[in-house]
Structure 1
Amino acid sequence: MMQLEELAPAKINLALHVRGKLPDGRHRLETVFAFCTDGDRVAAGPAEEVSLQVKGPFSGELGDPDDNLALRAARALREDAGVSGGASLVLTKNLPVASGIGGGSADAAAVLRLLTRMWSIDPSHASAVAPALGADVPACLLSMSVRGDGAGDELKSVDAGVSGTPILLVNPRVAVSTAEVFTAWSGEDKGPLDDWRAGRNDLQEAAVKQFPLIGTVLAWLSVQPGAHFVRMSGSGATCFALFDTEIARDQVEIAVPREWWRLSTYLR
Structure 2
Amino acid sequence: MTLNPRQRKLLDVVRHQRTVSVEELAQQLDVTPQTVRRDIKLMEDAQLLARYHGGVGLPSSVRNIDYNQRQALNSDAKRRIAAAVAGQVPNGCSLLVNIGTTTEEVARALVHHQDLHVVTNNLNVAAILADNPGCEVIIAGGVVRARDRGIVGEATIDFIRQFKVDIGIIGISGLEEDGTLRDFDPREVKVAQAIIEQSREVWLVADHDKFGRQALVRLAHASQIDRLFTDAKPPEGLAKALKDAKVQVVVAA
TM-score by length of 2: 0.27
TM-score by length of 1: 0.26
Q: Greater helix share, 1 or 2?
A: 2
Q: Greater strand share, 1 or 2?
A: 1
